[in-house]
Amino acid sequence: MVRSAVGSMRRHKMRTFLMILGTLVGVTALTVVVAYGQGTQNAVLDNFNRMFGGSTIMLMAGGGGRMGGPHADGPATTLTLEDLAAIGAEIPEVIASDPIMMLGEFDVVYEGETKPIMITGHSESQEIVWDRGATSGSYFGHEDVERSARVAVVGERLVTEIFGGMDPVGESIRIANVPFEVIGVLDLMGIDPHGVDMDREIQVPVTTAMRRLSNVDYIFSAKLSVAASANLDDVVFRIADVLRPRHALGPQEPNDFQMITPVQVEGMIESGNRVFTLFLPLVAAISILAGGIVVANLMLMSVSERRAEIGLRKALGAKRRDISAQFLLESTAVTLFGGLLALGLAYVVLLAMGGVSTVARTMGETDNAEAAEVALGLPWEVALLGVAASLAVGLLAGVAPARRAAALDPVETLR
57-82 average pLDDT score: 65
User: What is the pLDDT, as a whole number, of residue 270?
Assistant: 64
- Residue 51 near residue 234, CB atoms below 8 Å: no
Q: Mapped to the 3 state alphabet, what secondary structure does 2-55 carry?
A: HHHHHHHHHHCHHHHHHHHHHHHHHHHHHHHHHHHHHHHHHHHHHHHHHHHCCC
325-352 average pLDDT score: 86
For 312-329, what is each residue's pLDDT tens digit?
888 888 888 888 888 888
What are the extents of the domains in the chain? 2-50+266-414, 79-246
Element (H, E) at 297: helix 280-305
pLDDT at 273 over 80: no
- Give the pLDDT band (50/70/90) at residue 74: very low
For 134-147, what is each residue's pLDDT tens digit?
999 999 999 999 99
Instruction: Specify the pTM.
Output: 0.62
Q: What is the DSSP letter of 255?
A: P
User: What is the pLDDT, as a whole number, of residue 277?
Assistant: 66
- The count of C-alpha atoms lying within 13 angstroms of the C-alpha of 408, restricted to the half-sphere facing its C-beta, is 30
- Give the pLDDT band (50/70/90) at residue 8: confident
User: What is the pLDDT, as a whole number, of residue 275?
Assistant: 63
What whole-number distance in Å separates Cα of residue 233 and Cα of residue 239?
Answer: 10
Strands 134-137 and 178-186: antiparallel
User: What is the pLDDT, as a whole number, of residue 184?
Assistant: 96
Write down the mean pLDDT value for the chain. Answer: 82
Beta bridge partners, 223, equal 58, 98
Q: What is the DSSP letter of 60?
A: E
Sign of the Cα torsion 307, 313, 315, 321 reads: negative
